[in-house]
Structure 1
Amino acid sequence: MRRAAAVTGMALAVWLAATGPAQAGPAGAEGADFIYVVEPGDNLSSLAGRYMASADGWRLLQARNGVADPYRLAPGTRLRIPLGQIPEQPGAARVVFVNGPAQADGEPLHAGMALREAARIVTAAGSTVTLELPDRTRVTLPPGTTVAVRRLRTFRKSGLTDTVIRIERGQADTRVAPEGGGVGRFELHTPMMVTGVRGTRYRVAADAAGSRSEVLEGQVGVSLARAGAASATAVPAGYGIGVPAGAGLSRPVALLPAPQLQPLPDTVLGPAVDAAWQPVQGAVGYRVSVARDVAHTELVWTGDTADTHIGLDGLPEGSLYLAVSAVDAQRLAGKPASGPFAVRLNPPAPFTLQPAAGTVRYGESATFEWAAVGAAASYELAVSADAGFAATAATLQARSEQAVQKLAPGAWFWRVRSLDAGGRPGPWSAAVPFTLEPAPPVPTLQDDGDSLRIGWPADARATAGYRVQLAEDAGFTRMVADQRSADNEVALPRPPAGTYYVRVARAAADGHEPAAAFSAPQRITIVAYLRDGQGGAIRLGDGARDEGNHGTGVRIR
């Protein structure tokens, strides 16, 4: 803590000098000067030849830096080389990753594009862009960010970059010169703050509340953007600094520690998963992101939450990396906790067909149907009494797109997934709710010539009785009788000879709609009768008694 306090008020130049040879070589820029930290064997002539237009530039370096002997330089000494004396050539940034709608100068961005100096880049909500500079520096722009590339060049002789990016709103996450070759100049400007850097990893954000910078690796120098601002304040790794709206540069503060993540499954089947972590003392919220690279430069998902958990959705297939940072009251995001996981989306889940959501099926079993998936070698069906499938009642393997499962009456959920030729599953389909009811009662009939007596097996579930319908058509649009019965039989007036249809259902408590489905319509034929002097029935023509019905005058089909 004493060292952090000492660093807080120091200029970047003093802090870099104190770090010694570990910071040797190209060390960024301060104002109009490129800073070089002397390495063993360096002399002014060799440095002028490496960076300046002419080797004769050593004389300028000697005068500018007050060097007594141009051939005897102490390792660790900081030399200033005027940027105006370093020949440069136009540079380019390569777009290496785009997720969602993003534009540069009004044109859609796509991976592989080259961006030049003066480009203005905008990421929409839900989109991210990653740029890569010639020295492999990566700049990641999260959703809702607008930046302008003020300077994009390279030192002609050494290939070091000279980059200045202005953040108008949003945030930039950077991994500068990751291969350790140093940097010529790399600065991120906001309307309130300038952040200059030697090879490091840090974040800069700008919004209506002010500007903020968080250092994860290396060190940065931060100063106010206004003219005449004091020299840069050095901010080491693990610290953050800000410029609140209408205020001056704050003191560097320690970033909050990384949260402890709860482990994710090694492989997530489907595009969504819940992430959770332990609370961090002092946190007012958490910043969450998912990237497709371990360096976390290619973001595929970002979000913020005040809770210690969040739902990730819309994830792509492949190896991914989760990162969570705690955010403090000054809106500084702390050290990230990260962990790998994989998402598997193939073979894709089939489209479910039957039973459809909310439908009712009748009988002792349910038949399930789904659409074929070309990449599937087989399928797996699961049925459960709860939507979360905590207790699976049945799991079936199927080679075709249909399966039958015996089930008890009640409310159920079903889902299905595809398996590839190696037996590896893809994601489940969404859970589909349906209800299975007992099969409706099946009627039997007797015809005594005066009335039709319709009976069926008693059903203990028919607490409100039964409902019987007789119609002239199988669709029951031309109704002959629609009658309720408290018992499992009913007598209906005998209709004229002809073909009719009959069905039965358990009645609802209100006496109108059935509580369950009607039985399948049964076709019956009512034959014509004449009676003799003793009242007996006499057969007429095609209206012969059906011997199978023992002279009832009714044929059931």
Structure 2
Amino acid sequence: MRKWIGTAALAWLAGVAGPAQAGPAGAEGADFLYLVEPGDTLIGLAERYMASADGWRTLQRLNGVADPYRLVPGSRLRIPLSQIPEQAASARVVYVNGEVRANGRPVQVGMSLDESARIETPAAGSVTLELPDRSRITLPPNTTVAVRRLRTFARSGLTDTVIRIEQGGADTRVAPEGSGVGRFELHTPMMVTGVRGTSYRVAADAAGSRSEVLAGRVGVSAARPARPVPAGHAMSAAAQVSAGYGVGVSDRGRLSQPVALLPAPVLLPPADTVLGPAFDAAWQPVSGASAYHVKVARDAALTEVAWSGTTTDTRARPEGLPEGTLYLAVSAVDANRLTGLAAQAPVAVRLNPPAPFTLQPAADAVRYGETVAFAWAAVPGAASYELAVAGDAGFAGAVALHPAAEPASAQPQAPGQYWWRVRSVDAAGRPGPWSAPVAYRVEPPGPVPSMQDDGKTLQVGWPADRGAGTGYRVQLSADAGFATLLVDQHTETNAIELPRPAPGVYYVRVARAAPGAVPDTGAFSAPQRIEIFTYLMDGNGAAIGAGVGTDGGAGGGTGGGGRIRLH
């Protein structure tokens, strides 16, 4: 059997462990370590772990035991790994986020990964593996690992796992059910860790390697340095790291002394229920922190990471979250790049019923008039909807809420800038997430024109706007759709004189507009229908005709055969 780089700290751990920690205790070099429990004998241990019960003689000789039937509880026994029969094992994929690949192929939940697998996580992805003893290994974004060894002890079922982290990191929960571990080691180019039932993290990058212990104890040793160690810089070989402490190994192979991890930040609790796939997380600053690591997981043990990120701020916005009860965790990062203890809080995320797809007004649309028509796509399963209109994009100010039984609503609106959004409500009255805010603007309706006809010209006028400043656009057409324009003029005043057209039916409309601007169709007043009649003239060329008025309150005048009415 190949002799792996040892974890000397495990020996120290075994030496100080009491009966409460007895049983399988990991590995040291080429040996499996066992801490004696009351009632243990060498013959019994050989039957439990070794190929033959006759192996007790090897145990007696290797460990200097005088009486194979009288072992001291809590004492440490070495069992050669080469004499422990093993069988092939596999790791089960229990969670995948993003396009994770193993040996170049996509990874899916439920897959089994065997010894020699090479696993890569993308920049926004992660994967969680579960070993036969229920140990879990979570690989965060931008991580590449190689599974060097993945087996179980044939007689006891203990795992024998060695994983090399080429880049990135790993979060582990080893033997969570307290069965102990045969061998569990994480190797980086500069560090080797070996553990017994515990929770810890390992990270590796160009600057070196780091390990932080969250529960239990970890033995850490420096691997062979990638570059020569300068004279006068002795390389530390191993350290015993307890919960709440971390260590690092520099790129020259120097192992630091254990350092206390920064305390957990004080979280500002998010809302009990978050509507939508994102929320704002905030916390109080931690003295000595240079950054903060934030993650959101699907389980309280933080092994199934749905989102993670690092920030120098005291707030973050996790996005793209799944529905359900999730767990927010925030840790402070110190100047040595060690990640501290995590503050944790549950967050209930609700995505259903889903937000409707907004139709109108579209983004940055302009509406003219005193009523705005809203419309959105119907959502299957939605019992009703709720429309919200506000004067700011964050909906922090006054918000008008309008229930709607159908995917449409018409609401009176004063001129101004607005944002709207809508959400679905289920049969139990529970709302889903809001749609994204949509900006729109309301402008006053076009001024309604009136007309006077003296038989020679048409005088069109309308109420003046205070501070209009830009003028008006006047159009005259022979059709109500204004496809054929007879007049299309700009004026700076609220009146215009037009040549009198031939008798017939015409349409006129007015919009506020700057010189040269082409207003939207909605900016114009409703088309006003004009009827032009034939006049009789006297000997002086003056028109002879009865007085005329207007229909529909459109205004009017006297002295001719013209009539204007709302079309």
Which of the five TM-score ranges fits, normalised by the shorter chain? over 0.9
- Structure 2 counterpart of 1:328, one-letter code: D
Q: Does the 8 Å contact 1:121/1:146 carry over to 2?
A: yes
Using a 3 Å threshold, how does the CA distance of structure 1 residues 518 and 89 change in structure 2: closer, same or farther?
same
- Secondary structure (helix, strand or coil) at the match of 1:426 reads coil
1:469 aligned to which of 444, 468, 475: 475
**1:502 corresponding residue in structure 2:** 508
Structure 1: gaps of 5 or more residues: 1-8, 540-544
Using a 3 Å threshold, how does the CA distance of structure 1 residues 512 and 95 change in structure 2: closer, same or farther?
closer
Deviates more, 1:449-458 or 1:280-289: 449-458
Deviates more, 1:134-143 or 1:272-281: 272-281
**1:95 corresponding residue in structure 2:** 93
CA–CA distance in structure 1, aligned partners of residues 77 and 108 of structure 2 = 41
CA–CA distance in structure 2, aligned partners of residues 342 and 554 of structure 1 = 66
Using a 3 Å threshold, how does the CA distance of structure 1 residues 232 and 512 change in structure 2: closer, same or farther?
closer
- Structure 1 counterpart of 2:462, one-letter code: W
Is 1:519 the equivalent of 2:517? no
Among the aligned pairs, what percent are the same residue? 66
CA–CA distance in structure 1, aligned partners of residues 352 and 535 of structure 2 = 69
**2:185 corresponding residue in structure 1:** 187
1:442 aligned to which of 421, 435, 448: 448
CA–CA distance in structure 1, aligned partners of residues 508 and 453 of structure 2 = 14
**1:529 corresponding residue in structure 2:** 535
> Residues 314-373 of structure 1, C-alpha deviation per residue, up to 9 Å, x if partnerless?
111111001111111111111111111011111111111111121221222222111111
Shift of 1:230: 7.6
CA–CA distance in structure 2, aligned partners of residues 55 and 481 of structure 1 = 110
**1:334 corresponding residue in structure 2:** 340
Deviates more, 1:75-84 or 1:427-436: 427-436
Shift of 1:276: 1.2
**2:62 corresponding residue in structure 1:** 64
Q: Does the 8 Å contact 2:9/2:218 carry over to 1?
A: no
Is 1:395 the equivalent of 2:393? no
CA–CA distance in structure 1, aligned partners of residues 133 and 176 of structure 2 = 8
- Secondary structure (helix, strand or coil) at the match of 1:179 reads coil
- Structure 1 counterpart of 2:55, one-letter code: G
> Residues 205-233 of structure 1, C-alpha deviation per residue, up to 9 Å, x if partnerless?
11111111111100111112239x98642
- Secondary structure (helix, strand or coil) at the match of 2:59 reads helix
User: 1:296-375 counterparts in 2 under 5 A?
Assistant: 296-375=302-381
CA–CA distance in structure 2, aligned partners of residues 319 and 382 of structure 1 = 27
Q: Does the 8 Å contact 1:462/1:507 carry over to 2?
A: no
1:209 aligned to which of 187, 207, 210: 207
Structure 2: gaps of 5 or more residues: 1-6, 226-234
- Secondary structure (helix, strand or coil) at the match of 2:180 reads coil
2:289 aligned to which of 277, 283, 295: 283
CA–CA distance in structure 2, aligned partners of residues 253 and 464 of structure 1 = 70
Using a 3 Å threshold, how does the CA distance of structure 1 residues 552 and 528 change in structure 2: closer, same or farther?
closer
Q: Does the 8 Å contact 1:12/1:231 carry over to 2?
A: no
CA–CA distance in structure 1, aligned partners of residues 174 and 530 of structure 2 = 86
CA–CA distance in structure 1, aligned partners of residues 517 and 108 of structure 2 = 63
Q: Does the 8 Å contact 2:10/2:27 carry over to 1?
A: no
Using a 3 Å threshold, how does the CA distance of structure 1 residues 208 and 486 change in structure 2: closer, same or farther?
closer
Shift of 1:467: 3.4
- Secondary structure (helix, strand or coil) at the match of 2:268 reads coil
Using a 3 Å threshold, how does the CA distance of structure 1 residues 409 and 20 change in structure 2: closer, same or farther?
same
* RMSD of aligned residue pairs (Cα, Å): 2.4
- Secondary structure (helix, strand or coil) at the match of 2:54 reads helix
CA–CA distance in structure 2, aligned partners of residues 329 and 188 of structure 1 = 24
CA–CA distance in structure 1, aligned partners of residues 332 and 139 of structure 2 = 19
Shift of 1:39: 0.6
CA–CA distance in structure 1, aligned partners of residues 277 and 429 of structure 2 = 20
Q: Does the 8 Å contact 1:464/1:511 carry over to 2?
A: no
Shift of 1:298: 0.5
**2:562 corresponding residue in structure 1:** 553
**2:232 corresponding residue in structure 1:** none
Q: How many residue pairs are counted as aligned between the two chains?
A: 543
Shift of 1:535: 4.9
CA–CA distance in structure 2, aligned partners of residues 144 and 215 of structure 1 = 21
Is 1:222 the equivalent of 2:228? no
Shift of 1:512: 5.0
Shift of 1:170: 0.6
- Structure 1 counterpart of 2:504, one-letter code: G
User: 1:418-433 counterparts in 2 under 5 A?
Assistant: 418-433=424-439
> Residues 65-90 of structure 1, C-alpha deviation per residue, up to 9 Å, x if partnerless?
00011111110010000001111111
1:162 aligned to which of 157, 160, 163: 160
**1:489 corresponding residue in structure 2:** 495
Q: Does the 8 Å contact 2:421/2:438 carry over to 1?
A: yes
CA–CA distance in structure 2, aligned partners of residues 281 and 462 of structure 1 = 57
CA–CA distance in structure 2, aligned partners of residues 374 and 547 of structure 1 = 50
Shift of 1:411: 1.0
Shift of 1:21: 1.5
Using a 3 Å threshold, how does the CA distance of structure 1 residues 440 and 231 change in structure 2: closer, same or farther?
closer
**2:270 corresponding residue in structure 1:** 264
Question: What TM-score do the two structures reach when normalised by structure 1?
Answer: 0.92
- Secondary structure (helix, strand or coil) at the match of 1:196 reads strand
Q: Does the 8 Å contact 1:94/1:115 carry over to 2?
A: yes
**1:104 corresponding residue in structure 2:** 102
Shift of 1:472: 3.5
- Structure 2 counterpart of 1:80, one-letter code: R
Shift of 1:552: 2.1
Q: Does the 8 Å contact 1:11/1:231 carry over to 2?
A: no
Q: Does the 8 Å contact 1:12/1:232 carry over to 2?
A: no
Is 1:143 the equivalent of 2:141? yes
Q: Does the 8 Å contact 1:381/1:415 carry over to 2?
A: yes
